[in-house]
Amino acid sequence: MTYDEIVKGIKDLTIQGAEKIAIAAVDAFSQKLAETKDREQLKKYMDELISLRETEPALRNALKYCFENFDKVENACQIAHDHFKKSQELIAEYGANKISDDMIVYTHCHSSTVEAILIKAHQQGKKFEVYNSETRPKFQGRITATNLAKAGIKVTHFVDSAGRTAMKHADLFLFGCDAITSEGKIFNKIGTEFLAEFANEARIPAYSCTNSWKFDPQTLYGFEEKIEERDPKEVWENPPEGVTIFNPAFEIIAPDIITGVITEIGIVKPETLVLEVQKHYPWMLAQ
C-alpha cells in the first residue's frame, strides 16, 4: 500500500486494530523516510499519521521510536515493525498458559492478540470453546468468530445485549486493549466494561491482552487519554429529528475489576505496567 492508501485506510477503518494500525503507520513513515531525511518534513508526516486516530498510543509510540531513531539506529522502522510480531508470539505463549481443557473463554470485539492466544492454545491441543459478542455497530466480533472457526475452534456468537447471559457460563474473559494510562486504566472497545464488571462479580478471571507499547506515557504528566467518537451514521443512517446518536469507540475499564494484563514483558497488574515499561523501554517515557 502507498502512503496515501495507508492514510485513507486508517482513517476510514479499513485498517483497524491497534497493532495493525501501528504497523501500517510505521510502513507509511518508512516510505517517506526512503524519500527524505529532512527532520522537519518527516515530523509533518509523523504528525499527520498520529492525527488519524485519537485513542491509539501504540501508533504514537511506534512512530516516535522511528522518528527519534531513524538517524541513530540502523533499520529503526524495521525494528519497530518486528517488535509487534515478536511481542505477539510471546503474549500468545503466556496467554495460552491460562487456558485449559473444557474451558469456555469469552471475548469481545476483535483483538489480533486475543485471537493469537486462542489459536496458540488450540495448536497446543487444548479443547475449549469460545463465546464472543458481535460488537455493534461495525460487527468486529464477526471477524473474531470467522477467524477462530477457520482455525478449527468452536465458537458461539452472541448479540451484544446477551453478553451477561453468555458470561455466566464462561471460565475466562480475554479482551484486547487500545490504550493504558499511568493509573492502570484500560481503554478498550465500548461494551467491555460491563462484561469486566460482571466477570469481577462472578469471580471469573479477566485479562487485557496487549502489547505494552499501548501504554500512553503522556498520562504520566496529567494528559487525559481521549476517547474517539465515530460517525453517528454507523449507528443510524437517517435518524428522526430530535434523536441524537452517541457513538463512542472505546470506554475505560478500571484496573481494580480485572485480574491482570498479559503483555510481552509478562503478566502484570495494570497499575504496575508503567514500572515494567520504564525498565524495558525507557525511551518511551522520555519527554
- What is the bridge-based pairing of β-strands 172-175 and 260-263? unpaired
- From 109, 160, 177, 209, the catalytic residue: 109
Helix/strand/coil (H, E, C) string of 60-99? Answer: HHHHHHHHHHCCCCCCHHHHHHHHHHHHHHHHHHHHHCCC
Rounded distance between C-alpha atoms, residue 17 and residue 177, angstroms: 9
Number of H helices and number of E strands within the chain? 11, 10
Q: What is the CA radius of gyration of the chain?
A: 19
Residues in CB range of 254: below 8 A, 6 or more apart = 185
Q: Which of 66, 77, 160, 178 is catalytic?
A: 178
DSSP state at residue 32:
H
Q: All 3 cell numbers of residue 5?
A: 492508501
The yes-or-no answer on residue 77 being catalytic is no
Please name the residue that has the C-alpha cell 484496573.
255
CA-to-CA distance for 160 and 135, rounded, in angstroms? 6
250-253 sheet: strands from edge to edge = 179-180, 186-189, 250-253
Largest separation between any pair of C-alpha atoms in the chain? 57
Residue 159 contacts residue 168 (beta carbons within 8 Å): no
What would the grid cell of residue 224 be? 487525559
Query: Each residue of 33-70: b (16+ CB within 10 Å) or e?
Result: beeeeeeeebeebbeebeebbbbbbbbbbbbbbbbebb
Catalytic residue ranges:
109, 178
